Amino acid sequence: MSFTQDLFYDALLDPARPHPRGLHDGRSRPAGRRFDVYRNNVAVSLTEALHEGFPVIAKLLGKRNMDGLAGLYWRQHPPASPLMMQYGAAFPDFLAGLPQLSHLGYLPDVARLELALRRAYHAGDAAPLDPQALSIDPQALMSATLTFAPAVQLMRSPWPIHAIWRFNTEDDAPKPSAAAQDVLITRPDYDPVPRLLQPGAAEWVATVQAGGTLAAAQDRALASAPDFDLVALLALLLGDGALSSLSPPKA
Amino acid sequence: MLDTTRTLPAAPGVGYKPQHFAQILDHAGPVGWLEIHAENYMGDGGRPLAQLRHLAERFPISVHGVGLSIGGEGPLDPDHLARLKHLVGWLNPASFSEHLAWSTHDSHFLNDLLPLPYTSATLDRVCTHIDQVQEVLGRRMLLENPSSYLAFAESTWEEPSFLGEIARRTGCGLLLDVNNVFVSATNLGFSPQGYIDAFPLDAVGEIHLGGHDEDQDDHGAPLLIDSHGRAVVDPVWALLDYTLDRAGPRPLLVEWDTDVPDWPVLRAEAQRAQSALDKVPA
């Protein structure tokens, strides 16, 4: 029987399968554990890719647990393209589906946060909006819409994901305590940052992202949080270059 | 007609690592060009592309693909080819190269360079894929010899003549990795010098050098692993000298992809490559 990549592939992914036949060591002896070099290369490179892509998850789980979960994950979800920068998109849902992790309910959202940071790192570039662009007639401003830079992503979680992320990436960060947290990923220059949003801000961002006017966003934000602070939010967005353009109201 | 006018200089180059960005610009030393892995620069923007644009103003760039799966039994991934065309289009690099290997099966990418039997069926398939790549990119590509840990009973070609036949049929050039030759020769029990003697050196557009790890097979025989995680060993430098004596000066790349050292260490390897070039009559 001749070599097929089907057989090779199946044996690579499943160490319980026998090595493919017809492989030798160049001296007419069976290849034996030489085949395992390829098994090992694939296992190590995909496991390392998940460690690098989800460093906080790896830290929370510990290396042994992360290695084990990575091995389960890559066999179920091998990369769907050669763009390893995108690998692990299904990892948060995979974590959410594991009964043995159900006591760590925050893990999937922390993984989503890490995925969003990685996406932001590779996201398209956009010239930041000049703050002067907002210095127009207030009524016109409230009827305008805004576009976010491609790196900007909103995450809302019932878990303190921002605090957990900080506690595991920064020295001297405070210990997380139970709270729902909204996070906005921004990318000042080239390094993505998760910003903790104040009450109402997530409603404002979501409305603007959906193409709503600033008036609509303001209404939604105030309905959610009467103390919503638009000035503070705009300062954050402008400071991080999170806004890319302002469109005046359609005539 | 394929564009064959863009080539790398016969100088040392290094595999580019982002942590070396500032030092490469300030202290390039003998480094005359840089190689990037194509797939790391296929995002939409951000630091990787900004750094690459900057480096490309200063250095000739070699784009080295690790994900095209040219030896795959299935068709080439049209999306990946389009991404490659986009990258090569805007960057206009001095060279594009890929591997005699497969890495994708049923749209699953395994992030490793997997081996091929050297048969007429593989030859036809690889040539068809290279024709397609060269047509899409509108330029000549280089194909790299693999490092091997095992061989296929059904192979009917020796690797050097197999690569030579691919180059003859498709007009592609070859990338000769002398560390891979040394690794494969040790692992499969052939003479590395004999391999170089049989290799179509006229087609070589670039030479790779890298470090490897040492292991053992079931019989206690040495099994070298192409890890790119340490310095190039002396026997590989000697094999480089042997090759350059016969081929003349060529672009020489030092690859160091894991346990990446500080810039001065990598630059010293490039300096050693420069010394090897200096010994060769032009």
For the segment A42-89, what is each residue's pLDDT rounded down to a tens digit?
999 999 999 999 999 999 999 999 999 999 999 999 999 999 999 999
Is residue B15 within a helix (H) or strand (E), and if so which, with residue range? strand B12-15
Is residue A195 within a helix (H) or strand (E), and if so which, with residue range? strand A193-196
**pLDDT at res. A164:** 98
CB of A9 less than 8 A from some CB of B: yes
**Chain B positions in Cβ-Cβ contact with residue A5 (cut-off 8 Å):** 72-73, 102, 105, 114
Q: Which of B77, B112, B129, B215 to mutate to test the interface with A (most CBs of A within 10 A)?
A: B112
Q: Which of B28, B32, B24, B39 is nearest to B8 (CA)?
A: B32
**How many pairs of residues across A and B have Cβ atoms under 8 Å apart?**
145
**pLDDT at res. B4:** 65
Using one digit for the tens of pLDDT, what is the confidence trace for A80-112? 999 999 999 999 999 999 999 999 999 999 999
Residue B143 above 50 pLDDT? Answer: yes
Kindly indicate the confidence band of residue A1, based on its pLDDT and cuts at 50, 70 and 90: very low
Kindly indicate the confidence band of residue A139, based on its pLDDT and cuts at 50, 70 and 90: very high
- Nearest Cα of chain B lies from the Cα of A237 at a distance, in angstroms, of 18
Look at chain B and count its residues: 282
**Closest B-chain CA to A13:** B110
- Nearest Cα of chain A lies from the Cα of B122 at a distance, in angstroms, of 11
**Closest A-chain CA to B158:** A26
Residue A251 above 70 pLDDT? Answer: no
Residue type, position B160, single letter: P
Predicted ipTM? 0.94
CA distances for A46 relative to A8, A79, A94, B130, B162, angstroms: 17, 8, 16, 27, 31
Is residue A63 within a helix (H) or strand (E), and if so which, with residue range? helix A63-76
Rounded to whole angstroms, the Cα distance separating A141 from A102 reads 46
Write the DSSP assignment of B184-212 as a string of letters. Answer: HHHHHT--HHHHHHHS-GGGEEEEEEE--
Average pLDDT over residues B272-277: 98
CB of B80 less than 8 A from some CB of A: yes
Using one digit for the tens of pLDDT, what is the confidence trace for B3-54? 666 789 999 999 999 999 999 999 999 999 999 999 999 999 999 999 999 9
Average pLDDT over residues A204-223: 98
Rounded to whole angstroms, the Cα distance separating A2 from A76 reads 27
**pLDDT at res. B281:** 81
Tell which A residues from 215 to 244 touch B, by Cβ distance under 8 Å: none
Tell which A residues from 99 to 128 touch B, by Cβ distance under 8 Å: 120-125
**pLDDT at res. A248:** 86
Residue B1 above 60 pLDDT? Answer: no
Tell which A residues from 12 to 51 touch B, by Cβ distance under 8 Å: 12, 22-27, 29, 31-35, 37-38, 41-42, 45-46, 49
**pLDDT at res. B61:** 98
Average pLDDT over residues B226-231: 94
**pLDDT at res. A249:** 76
The contacts found for B191-195 with CB under 8 angstroms, 24 or more apart, are B192/B239, B193/B239, B193/B242, B195/B159, B195/B160
Average pLDDT over residues A177-190: 96
Q: Which of B109, B158, B226 to mutate to test the interface with A (most CBs of A within 10 A)?
A: B109
**Closest B-chain CA to A77:** B108
- Nearest Cα of chain B lies from the Cα of A105 at a distance, in angstroms, of 30
Q: Which of B93, B91, B98 is nearest to B126 (CA)?
A: B98
B189/A42 touch (CB, cutoff 8 Å), yes or no: no
B110/A12 touch (CB, cutoff 8 Å), yes or no: yes
**Chain A positions in Cβ-Cβ contact with residue B221 (cut-off 8 Å):** 25
- Nearest Cα of chain B lies from the Cα of A51 at a distance, in angstroms, of 15
3-class secondary structure, A19: coil
Task: Look over chain B and give the mean of its residue pLDDT values, rounded to a whole number.
Answer: 96
Tokens of B37: 């892995």
- Nearest Cα of chain A lies from the Cα of B184 at a distance, in angstroms, of 9
* A108 within 8 A of A96, measured Cβ to Cβ: yes
Q: Which of A130, A122, A237 is nearest to A190 (CA)?
A: A122
A123/B46 touch (CB, cutoff 8 Å), yes or no: yes
CA distances for B22 relative to B18, B36, B259, angstroms: 9, 16, 19
**pLDDT at res. A222:** 98
**Chain A positions in Cβ-Cβ contact with residue B257 (cut-off 8 Å):** none
